[in-house]
Amino acid sequence: MKVIIVSALLLVSSAQADQVPSTVLKVAKLLKTRDTRTVVSEVYNNDGNPCLPEGKSYNIELQVKQGSFDPLQSKIVYNWETVKTVNSDLTGKIMDVCAE
């Protein structure tokens, strides 16, 4: 009987932990909107590079704004850092870039 009651309490606790307040979800959405971006650039593979499709394709970079403390300026400085790069050909096929 004690085992069943403890199990039931654990299930209730984990179910309540999964419910995130709407205010926190709004902050998460703001963070995603303000501190991430994608950068798209055209790439031409005319030299037979095996890491890219032949001809014209596009590199898509997912970038995140990262903060670090600059001791010279005595403040936090933000820079965009690429965290993932994929390549897409003209048909929409997605492939990871070889350098990553």
pLDDT in tens, 61-80: 999 999 999 999 999 999 99
Q: Torsion angle, CA of 32/36/40/43, rounded to 10 degrees?
A: -130
pLDDT digit string, tens, across residues 11-55: 444 445 579 999 999 999 999 999 999 999 999 988 888 888 889
Domain ranges of the chain: 2-96
Q: Kind and range of the H or E element at 14?
A: helix 2-17
Task: Enter the tokens of residue 13.
Answer: 């606790």
The pTM of this model reads 0.67
Rounded to 5 degrees, what angle do the CA atoms 47, 50, 56 make?
A: 60
